[in-house]
């Protein structure tokens, strides 16, 4: 090889080496900037210095825990869904939230959603409609709801709920337009029928109709029509709540409390359990219509575990008494986990519980209180304008005020009435509140609008001393939080209730503690999915007690419900 060629080759080698060295230097500078911008050297120095003195047993676990606080919050990547079954064997939704955690996509949580409105008699057409609605809900979750939630921080419950509600709002708007068009077409095609006269009731003499004036009986509002697939809203919200707790690395009840107040409170309280021991009502086997559920509650201040032991003993004592009278099949329970004997008189279920209390040396009104779910909307006979409290025994709305007052006088252990009247009975409701609200909770369930509408309408004219909320269909966790705050700020209490088509999911128990509701109405003790929630509350009590974060329930304070103020007259009319 000539000297010229060697010289050229050496020059090329020298030039290539210089370029590589320059590129390596630039790469190192970029690396230094990258780590400095992300504060890696400072944090590495800090944790290594601290770790030397702390001398942890698990060095790499200590490093992982330290750096986890600087990791990006987990975000939703996907919602997957499959069909599951509720406690009745009816189809429901099981949803999973997938999220990106530490650069890894993983399943964060799984929830099984409760169902509602499965009546005792469902036609084939209604059953097919429910199946189709479930299918649509699953399609929503796997498609547009996944798109809406994608990239959302799982701990940001309110933003996630709002994204889901924004999607479903478009569905609702389209559905309402279709309904209007359908009704307009039906009105055009059908001949106009004469307007029927509203039924009225004149006050009678004697005990029935006492003090009643001629009044127009308002019919119940027509059943609200909703589009298919709305249960996807509740499913997405519950799944997001569970995922958020996983991401925050704290118990679900603490996560809920932090969402509610902005920080985890130093103290939390457990709700008073409302355990159903008798389940009857209009759909029950006997003639007694005015008691759909008879519930028992411990006195405030009793440790939850001790309270549940007492309520369990009462439940079992009632079962023994029924079996002794009617055989072992009398101990069979309904979907609510409660006994369902055939009763024809008001006194029978109440006396049954009081006899069980006496056998256990407990006293109603002292150790145990009772509540009655009257379900007035179910026992109202529109054609007669009366409530059929027992088959063959009917009472006007004004009669019902005396009827309930008599129950509270004869059974002082009863301290709560749920839905004692229909929401249409505004005048009678005011009379009832004036008569009993100082000695009894008046709780609104069906009386109150569904949770989303409650945020706009409130209790309206049927003001209650407690409102019953549950999670299903269009309701989100944020809706329940906001509604509960609205009720408490108004001086009333909150009851968190399980749905009729319940599942073994225990999220509701954590939600009750995180929201610090006064009452938890999860059903009876004869069904595993109901007991699972009470067991979860006992577990939470133990955790809070170990951390000295448990505060007892306050004594019952029945708010005196005042009637709404009269409407203000326009200035012009007042002047005249």
Q: Using one digit for the tens of pLDDT, what is the confidence trace for 48-78?
A: 999 989 999 999 999 998 988 898 999 999 9
Give residue 127's pLDDT band: very low, low, confident or very high (50, 70, 90): confident
DSSP notation for 353-392 = HHHHHHHTT--BTTTEEEEEE--HHHHEETTTTEEEEETT
CA angle 159, 162, 163 (to 5 degrees): 90
| 157 and 49 share one domain | no
Instruction: Report the pLDDT value the prediction gives residue 411, as an integer from 0 to 100.
Output: 97
Q: Is residue 325 in some structural domain?
A: yes
Q: Calculate the alpha carbon distances from 22 to 11, 26, 102, 480 in Å.
A: 16, 6, 34, 62
Integer Cα distance of 121 and 500 in angstroms: 14
| Lowest-pLDDT choice from 339-348, 368-377, 460-469, 494-503 | 460-469
84 and 93 Cβ atoms separated by less than 8 Å: yes
Q: What is the average pLDDT value for the chain, to the nearest integer?
A: 88
| 365 and 239 share one domain | no
Secondary structure class of 104 (helix, strand, coil): strand
| 60 and 145 share one domain | no
Residue 315 has pLDDT above 60, yes or no: yes
User: Which of 509, 507, 517, 522 lies closest to 483, judged by CA?
Assistant: 517
- Return the CATH number at 122: 3.30.390.10
| 91 and 60 share one domain | no
Number of C-beta neighbours around residue 75 at 10 A: 18
Q: Using one digit for the tens of pLDDT, what is the confidence trace for 169-207?
A: 999 999 988 888 888 887 777 765 555 454 444 444 334
Instruction: Report the pLDDT value the prediction gives residue 456, as an integer from 0 to 100.
Output: 85
Phi/psi at 229 (5° precision): 85, 5
Instruction: Report the pLDDT value the prediction gives residue 89, as an integer from 0 to 100.
Output: 87
Integer Cα distance of 431 and 437 in angstroms: 10
| 487 and 513 share one domain | yes
Q: Once rounded to an integer, what is the mean pLDDT over residues 35-44?
A: 90
Residue 121 has pLDDT above 70, yes or no: no
User: Which region holds residue 89: left if phi is over 0, alpha if psi is between -120 and 50, else beta?
Assistant: left
Instruction: Report the pLDDT value the prediction gives residue 210, as an integer from 0 to 100.
Output: 43
| 332 and 385 share one domain | yes
Residues listed for the chain: 576
Integer Cα distance of 421 and 424 in angstroms: 8
**Domain span at 153:** 75-176+227-249
Q: Using one digit for the tens of pLDDT, what is the confidence trace for 268-299?
A: 999 999 999 999 999 889 999 999 999 999 99
| 241 and 370 share one domain | no
Residue 6 has pLDDT above 60, yes or no: no
Integer Cα distance of 194 and 503 in angstroms: 48
- How many domains are there within the chain? 3
| 310 and 231 share one domain | no
């Amino acid at each position: 090889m000539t000297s010229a060629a060697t010289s050229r080759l050496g020059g090329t080698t020298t030039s290539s080496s210089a370029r590589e060295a320059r590129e390596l230097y630039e790469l190192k500078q970029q690396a230094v900037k990258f780590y400095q911008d992300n504060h890696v050297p400072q944090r590495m120095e800090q944790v290594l210095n601290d770790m030397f003195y702390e001398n942890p047993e698990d060095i790499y676990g200590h490093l992982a825990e330290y750096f986890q606080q600087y990791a990006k919050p987990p975000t939703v990547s996907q919602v997957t869904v499959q069909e599951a079954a509720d406690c009745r064997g009816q189809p429901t939704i099981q949803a999973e939230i997938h999220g990106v955690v530490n650069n890894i996509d993983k399943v964060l949580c799984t929830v099984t959603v409760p169902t509602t409105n499965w009546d005792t008699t469902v036609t084939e057409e209604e059953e097919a409609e429910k199946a189709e609605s479930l299918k649509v809900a699953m399609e929503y979750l796997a498609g547009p709801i996944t798109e809406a939630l994608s990239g959302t921080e799982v701990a940001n419950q309110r933003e996630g709920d709002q994204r889901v509600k924004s999607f479903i709002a478009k569905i609702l708007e389209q559905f309402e337009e279709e309904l209007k068009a359908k009704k307009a077409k039906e009105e055009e095609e059908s001949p106009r029928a004469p307007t029927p006269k509203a039924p009225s009731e004149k006050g009678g003499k004697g005990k029935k109709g006492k003090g009643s004036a001629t009044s127009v009986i308002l019919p119940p509002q027509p059943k609200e029509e909703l589009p298919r697939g709305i249960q996807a809203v509740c499913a997405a919200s519950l799944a997001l709540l569970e995922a958020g707790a996983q991401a925050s690395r704290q118990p679900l009840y603490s996560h809920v409390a932090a969402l509610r107040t902005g920080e985890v409170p130093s103290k939390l309280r457990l709700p008073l359990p409302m355990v159903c021991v008798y389940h009857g009502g209009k759909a029950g086997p006997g003639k007694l219509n005015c008691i759909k559920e008879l519930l028992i509650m411990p006195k405030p201040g009793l440790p939850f575990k001790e309270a549940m032991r007492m309520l369990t003993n009462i439940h079992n004592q009632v079962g023994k008494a029924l079996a002794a009278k009617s055989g072992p099949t009398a101990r069979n329970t309904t979907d609510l986990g409660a006994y369902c004997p055939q009763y024809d008189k008001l006194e029978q279920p109440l006396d049954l519980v009081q006899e069980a209390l006496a056998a256990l040396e407990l006293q109603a009104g002292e150790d145990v209180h009772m509540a009655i779910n009257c379900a007035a909307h179910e026992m109202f006979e529109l054609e007669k304008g009366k409530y059929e409290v027992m088959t063959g025994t009917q009472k006007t709305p004004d009669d019902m005020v005396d009827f309930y007052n008599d129950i509270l006088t004869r059974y002082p252990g009863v301290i709560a009435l749920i839905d004692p009247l229909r929401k249409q009975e505004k005048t009678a409701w005011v009379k009832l509140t004036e008569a009993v609200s100082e000695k009894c909770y008046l709780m609104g369930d069906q009386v109150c609008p569904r949770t989303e509408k409650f945020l706009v309408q409130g209790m309206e004219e049927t003001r209650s001393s407690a409102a019953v909320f549950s999670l299903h269909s269009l309701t989100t966790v944020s809706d329940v939080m906001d509604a509960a705050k609205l009720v408490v700020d108004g001086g009333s209490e909150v009851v968190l209730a399980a749905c009729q088509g319940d599942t073994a999911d225990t999220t509701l128990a954590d939600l009750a503690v995180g929201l610090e509701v006064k009452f938890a109405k999860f059903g009876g003790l004869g069904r595993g999915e109901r007991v699972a929630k009470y067991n979860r509350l006992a577990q939470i009590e133990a955790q809070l007690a170990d951390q000295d974060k448990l505060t007892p329930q306050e004594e019952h304070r029945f708010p005196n419900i005042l009637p709404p103020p009269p409407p203000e007259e326009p200035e012009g009319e007042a002047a005249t």
